């Protein structure tokens, strides 16, 4: 009976079969194309089957190769799920691992987390800071904070708060720059916002804010567009611009005096989109998650405009 290829070999086979390109598979795996080709050849020799047909310009999976690639993908996923479960079991029942993006962490959660620790000293919070959407079955996380529509099959999703987009600037700019008495005065300042749209919903920009303020001749080509809201907010804190920002993400900057609101007018993002606290339905009765959920919802309620 021929021995089976090892896990590393199966990962190489799965990547090569998915990309149908040894160079791209090598980039993903951190190998050289020659190493990938050599490992595939070793698997073929070990099993006594041809997995790929090769030409000077391309490779294709044989029928046997396709069958083994599919099985390799399933096996790797099963192993990843088992590893994730093993890690959760190993760290016991006192740790709670939360995954969230850097902006929500720095601008909202980290400023409040000491309150949770005082209420629940028996729960050790750990954080996974990433903009990637983690998989509860594959990744070592218990709870996620996600921005989206809250429709996640098999998961519970509790709405935290809506997103109110408001103009903000540095108090220095308000005190020493061109006056900001009416919305049209903004024409004399550098204006920044982010550009984001998904499923027909557009994040409020300066053109939309000006229209809501009754200014119908605003030239939006003069506004500066950022891809990250943290950059827009930092430009405002530095005193170089007036930014459109999510109230929840600048609430602390406002209360601590780093930012001010030159105008009260805000625009709500579509109710379809919001920040959600997300966790598997199978773990909703976990005391750690229940405690964190209750505390998060209470804190979120305090954040509403």
| Beta strand extents in the chain (DSSP E only) | 52-54, 59-61, 95-100, 124-129, 143-148, 155-161, 164-168, 191-194, 197-198, 201-202, 224-226, 242-246, 267-268, 274-280
Using DSSP's 3-state secondary structure scheme, residue 275 falls into strand
pLDDT at 165: 95
Q: How many CB atoms lie within 10 A of CB 80?
A: 14
Per-residue pLDDT of 161-192, as tens digits, reads 888 999 999 999 999 889 999 999 999 999 99
Per-residue pLDDT of 60-100, as tens digits, reads 999 999 999 999 998 888 887 777 777 777 776 789 999 99
Q: Pull the structure tokens for residue 40.
A: 């595939």
Per-residue pLDDT of the chain (305 residues; tens, 9 = 90+): 456 788 889 899 999 999 999 999 999 999 999 999 999 999 999 888 999 998 877 899 999 999 999 999 988 888 877 777 777 777 767 899 999 999 899 999 998 999 999 999 999 999 999 988 898 888 889 999 999 888 899 999 999 988 899 999 999 999 988 999 999 999 999 999 999 888 777 899 999 999 999 999 999 888 999 988 999 999 999 999 999 999 999 999 999 999 999 999 999 988 888 999 999 999 999 999 999 999 999 999 988 66
**Alpha carbon distance 165, 66 (integer Å):** 50
């Amino acid at each position: 009976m021929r021995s089976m290829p090892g896990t590393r070999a199966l990962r190489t086979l799965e990547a090569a079969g998915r990309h149908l390109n040894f160079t791209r598979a090598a980039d993903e795996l951190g190998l050289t194309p020659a190493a990938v080709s050599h490992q595939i050849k070793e698997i073929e020799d070990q099993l006594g089957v041809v997995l790929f047909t090769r030409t000077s310009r391309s490779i294709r999976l044989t029928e046997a190769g396709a069958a083994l690639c599919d099985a390799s993908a399933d096996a790797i996923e099963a192993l990843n799920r088992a590893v994730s479960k093993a890690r959760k079991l190993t760290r016991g029942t006192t740790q709670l691992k939360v995954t969230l993006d850097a902006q929500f962490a720095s601008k909202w959660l980290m400023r409040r987390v000491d309150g949770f620790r005082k209420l629940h000293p028996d729960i050790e919070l750990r954080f996974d800071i990433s903009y990637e959407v983690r998989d509860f079955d594959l990744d070592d996380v218990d709870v996620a904070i996600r921005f989206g529509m809250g429709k996640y099959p098999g998961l519970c999703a509790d709405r935290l708060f809506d997103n109110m987009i408001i103009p903000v600037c540095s108090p220095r700019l308000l005190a020493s720059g061109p006056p900001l008495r009416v919305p049209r005065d903004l024409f004399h300042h550098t204006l920044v916002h982010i550009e984001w749209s998904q499923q027909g919903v557009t994040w409020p920009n300066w053109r939309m804010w000006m229209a809501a303020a009754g200014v119908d001749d605003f030239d939006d080509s003069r506004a500066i567009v950022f891809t990250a809201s943290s950059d827009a907010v930092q430009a405002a804190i530095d005193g170089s611009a007036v930014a459109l920002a999510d109230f929840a993400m600048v609430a602390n900057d406002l209360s601590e005096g780093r930012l001010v609101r030159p105008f009260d007018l805000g625009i709500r993002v579509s109710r379809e989109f919001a920040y959600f606290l997300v966790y598997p339905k199978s773990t909703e009765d976990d005391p750690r998650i229940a405690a964190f959920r209750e505390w998060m919802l209470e804190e979120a309620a305090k954040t509403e405009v």
